[in-house]
Amino acid sequence: MSFSQQPIKTGTDFDCLVIGAGFSGMYMLHLLREAGFSTRVIEKGDGVGGAWYWSRYPGARCDSESVYYNYTFSEELYNEWTWSSRFPEQPEILRYLNFAADRLDLRRDIQFNTEVRAAHFDEDENIWRLHLSDGTSVTATYFISGVGCLSINATNIPNFKGLEQFEGDWYHTGAWPHHKVNFRGKRVGVIGTGSSGVQTIPVIAQEAEHLTVFQRTPQYSVPANNHPLEEEFIQYVKNHLPEIRGKMRESLGGLPFAPFERSALDDTPEERRKVYEEAWEKGGSALFFTYPDLLTNEESNTTASEFIRSKIKEIVKDPETAEKLMPTYYYGTKRAIMDTNYFETYNRDNVSLVDVKKAPIAEITAKGVRTEDREYELDVLVFATGYDGMTGPLLKMDIRGRDGETLKQKWENGAHVRTYLGLTTAGFPNMFMITGPESPSVLGNVPVAIEQHVEWTADCLKHMRETGMDTIEATQEAEEEWSRKCREMAEATLYTKTESWYTGANIEGKPRGFLMYLGGYGPYRELCDEIAEKGYEGFALASGSNTVV
């Protein structure tokens, strides 16, 4: 192996600059170095891990099964790590990513404690110049974003009046402090009941004197049914990794299971109940992956929605609270959530639920939260209010392509985000977005999507080097066609009927549009490979003044 090579192009500091040292940036660095590209990763934190470095809130854990939620590109690496449980907690996942960074010797090419403020494409030189928070700038031929779909620079703290006057401590789940936050004897408020809220509420409730949950939209959630992993199962997966990896890569959602081939409506109500009961017992994503038409057929969806509502009614003892917790949107059209004792937590005497759809939060006061009908006094306030997802992490940086056009101008002035394959965008040559908007990204077991994007990008750069090309850029036509396809796919589902961060609806003023590709991981992979095999169809490749489309 040769590391820390010289850049190929004279006048640049590196061949490749990568932002972020999470799952994406780490693997990107590894592959690029292996391929002989000089590469530097710029990372805001003082350690690797990305979202798993920042999201240290109590109860944070993965909701993909651990044995599938890791790098699978190397059997050697895979076999050296053993997970403790089905859905491990954040500290274990962070330890895993640190293990991978050590094992692949990544740290020496990562610049920690540094933020990328701006990335500008210099058209005369065909290079990217990144302006960093330490006042320096660096240049490279290729600029690769590994900032992910939900990143620290895009946490969403709603614009509540008066937050600055709050006398207690407040935190955002996605930017949690490194020290333990003490809730003992405290009156705590949690705003938000998405994946983060649902995970943290039961844990905080065990310690706080009183917990008040401010809920705007009630959620469907199913039990995670977390448990320690049996040695025999771990060994089985290790011994069969190539086969299991193959299934994960071909699947729609990055997991080695296939959904049923029948509609929910093909089963009788009794058969369906049995299917849902078994999935509920199994826990995790089992229910979400039962009938394939849950997200396309309203009637099918209603069967699953009603089943979960019936479970909430069974679990929550106080009928008034149970009623407040009843979700009404189409199940699965907001991120499907799994929990450990979420609904049970509302049976505790020290937990109360406030419906802020009925009486919205009017302001944060010195003493707590005031809704339109009363004030709740709090010592600690937790924002589990999510992120400006998909586009936010990119748009928080000043990214400029050809003619000085900013990515913000391009995406906000258009009626919607436009990308080609969710990997590139016209007018921004030699820029790649790992799990970018309009890629399948978060709609599944993300490390599988990450590995595919990273491998495709590394192969593309090797092709550029081998063919002596200087720039690669999506064509306007290919991008329009891709974005149209993404929109059409989304319109054919129930996803667009729900307000969620998937559609940008959670951020005031954000242009609406479904932000992912819904064709599934496996078909998407095939498509990307075909495009590469056809000489990067839909891209313009140029060398000097020669352009090949």
Chain residues binding ligand NAP by CB under 6 A are: 61-63, 150, 158, 173, 191-197, 199, 214, 216-217, 335, 356, 361, 384-387, 442, 501, 506
Query: Helix/strand/coil (H, E, C) string of 10-25?
Result: CCCCEEEEEECCCHHH
As a whole number of angstroms, the distance between CA 403 and CA 128 comes to: 13
Please tell me the distance from the alpha carbon of residue 385 to that of residue 376, in angstroms, as a whole number.
18
Q: Min. distance of Cβ 366 from ligand NAP in angstroms?
A: 20
Nearer CB in complex with ligand NAP: 69/142: 69
DSSP 481-514: HHHHHHHHHHHTSSGGGS-SGGGTTTSTTPPP--
The two tokens of residue 252 are 């729609």
- Answer left, alpha or beta for residue 481, where phi above 0 means left and psi between -120 and 50 means alpha: alpha
> Whole-number minimum distance, CB 281 to ligand NAP, in Å?
20
CA torsion, points 390, 394, 395, 398, in degrees to nearest 10? 180
Shortest Cβ 547–ligand NAP spacing (Å): 39
**What is the maximal distance between C-alpha atoms in the chain?**
72
Closer residue to ligand NAP, CB minimum distance, 119 or 190: 190
- Least distance from C-beta 458 to ligand NAP, angstroms? 26
Whether residue 229 contacts residue 86, with contact meaning beta carbons closer than 8 Å, is answered with yes
Query: Is-contact 101 72, C-beta < 8 A?
Result: no
Distance in Å, CB of 500 to ligand NAP, minimum: 7
For 372-377, which contacts have Cβ atoms below 8 Å and span 24 or more sequence positions? Answer: 376/189, 376/212, 377/187
Which C-beta is closer to ligand NAP: that of 339 or that of 379? 339
Provide, rounded to whole angstroms, the least separation between the CB of residue 248 and ligand NAP: 17
Q: Which of 436, 534, 416 shows the shortest CA–CA distance to 483?
A: 416
Cβ contact 85:226 at 8 Å = yes
For residue 285 the two structure tokens come to 């994503």
* Min separation Cβ 442 and ligand NAP, Å: 5
Q: Which residues contact 25 (CB under 8 A, 6 or more apart)?
A: 18, 19, 41, 43, 50, 110, 144, 146, 434
Pick between residue 316 and residue 361 the one whose CB is nearest to ligand NAP: 361
**Least Cβ distance, residue 120 to ligand NAP (angstroms):** 30
Residue 528: CB atoms within 10 A of its CB come to 21
Closest CB to ligand NAP among 141 and 193?
193
Q: Identify which of residues 70 and 195 has a Cβ nearer to ligand NAP in the complex.
A: 195
Closest approach, Cβ 422 to ligand NAP, in A, equals 16
Q: Which is nearer to ligand NAP, 196 or 301 (CB)?
A: 196
For ligand NAP, which is the closer residue by CB, 62 or 540? 62
Question: In the complex with ligand NAP, which residue's Cβ is closer, 132 or 175?
Answer: 175
The CB-nearest residue to ligand NAP is 194
Do residues 384 and 372 lie in contact, with contact meaning Cβ atoms separated by under 8 Å? no
The whole-angstrom separation of Cα 274 and Cα 285 is 16
Please state the closest distance from residue 507 (CB atom) to ligand NAP, in A: 9
Rounded least distance, CB 6 to ligand NAP, Å: 39
Q: Which is nearer to ligand NAP, 194 or 538 (CB)?
A: 194
In whole angstroms, how far apart are CA 258 and each of 62, 241, 262?
21, 17, 12
- CA separation for the pair 149, 30 (Å, rounded): 21
From edge to edge, which strands make up the β-sheet containing 361-364? 361-364, 368-371, 375-377
For ligand NAP, give the closer residue by CB, 128 or 501. Answer: 501
